[in-house]
Amino acid sequence: MVLTSPSADDVCATDDSIVTGDTPPDDTTPRAPGRVGCSTVARRLGEPLAGTAPAGTTRWLLVEHPGPWPLQPAQLSPVLARAEAAGIRVQLIRRPARRRRVSPHQIYVVNTERPWVEGREIADLAELAALDVAAVAAGRRPGFGETVAGPVFLVCTHGRRDACCAEFGRPVAAAIARDHAAAWETTHLGGDRFAASAVCFPDGLYFGRLDPASGPEVAAAYARGEIVLPHFRGRAGTPDAVQAAEHHVRMHLDARGTADLATRDVTPDGACTAVVLDVRDRRFRVLVEHGESAVRRQLTCRATEATCAPVRRVVGLTEVAGETRPAVLAVAAT
**pLDDT at residue 248 is higher than 70:** yes
User: What's the pLDDT score for residue 34?
Assistant: 60
Q: How far apart are CA 91 and CA 178, in angstroms?
A: 22
Strands 152-156 and 146-147, bridge-based pairing: unpaired
Write down how long the chain is: 334
Query: In sequence order, what are the residues at sequence separation of 6 or more whose Cβ sits closer than 8 angstroms to the Cβ of residue 47?
Result: 193, 194, 293, 309
Give domain limits for the chain.
1-238
What sign results for the dihedral spanned by CA atoms 152, 153, 157, 160? positive
What angle separates helix 214-223 from helix 163-177, to the nearest 10 degrees? 60
Under 8 Å between Cβ of 290 and 184: no
User: What's the pLDDT score for residue 138?
Assistant: 95
Average pLDDT estimate for 93-112: 85
Lowest mean pLDDT among 91-105, 223-237, 315-329: 315-329
User: What's the pLDDT score for residue 307?
Assistant: 84
User: What's the pLDDT score for residue 298?
Assistant: 80
Query: In sequence order, what are the residues at sequence separation of 6 or more whose Cβ sits closer than 8 angstroms to the Cβ of residue 205?
Result: 53, 199, 222, 227, 232, 234, 235, 236, 258
Average pLDDT estimate for 67-75: 82
Q: What is the rounded (10 degree) CA torsion for 324, 273, 334, 54?
A: 130
The CATH number corresponding to 1-238 among 3.40.50.11900, 3.50.50.60, 3.40.1380.20, 3.40.30.10 equals 3.40.30.10
Reported as a single tens digit per residue, the pLDDT across 107-118 is 999 999 999 999
Reported as a single tens digit per residue, the pLDDT across 170-220 is 999 999 999 998 999 999 999 888 989 999 999 999 999 999 999 999 999
CB atoms within 10 A of CB 34: 11
User: What's the pLDDT score for residue 38?
Assistant: 86
Query: Which residue stretches of 73-201 are H helix?
Result: 78-85, 133-137, 163-177
Strands 282-297 and 272-279, bridge-based pairing: antiparallel
User: What's the pLDDT score for residue 316?
Assistant: 92
Classify residue 8 by its DSSP letter.
T
**pLDDT at residue 330 is higher than 80:** no
Write out the DSSP string of 37-72.
PHHHHHHHHT---TT-S-TT--EEEEEE--SPPPSS
Q: How far apart are CA 170 and CA 163, in angstroms?
A: 11
Under 8 Å between Cβ of 310 and 273: no
Quick one: which H or E segment has residue 242?
Answer: helix 240-253
Write out the DSSP string of 172-239.
HHHHHHTT-TTEEEES--S-GGG-S-EEEETTTEEE-S--TTHHHHHHHHHHTTB--GGGEEEETTS-
Quick one: which H or E segment has residue 246?
Answer: helix 240-253
- Measure the N-to-C terminal CA separation of the chain; round to a whole number of Å: 23
Q: How far apart are CA 238 and CA 243, in angstroms?
A: 6
Mean pLDDT score of the chain: 84
DSSP helix/strand/coil, 291: strand
With bands split at pLDDT 50, 70 and 90, how would you rate the model's confidence at 62? very high
User: What's the pLDDT score for residue 29?
Assistant: 57
Whether a cis peptide bond, with omega within 30° of 0, leads into 25 is: no
Classify residue 76 by its DSSP letter.
G
Average pLDDT estimate for 42-64: 92
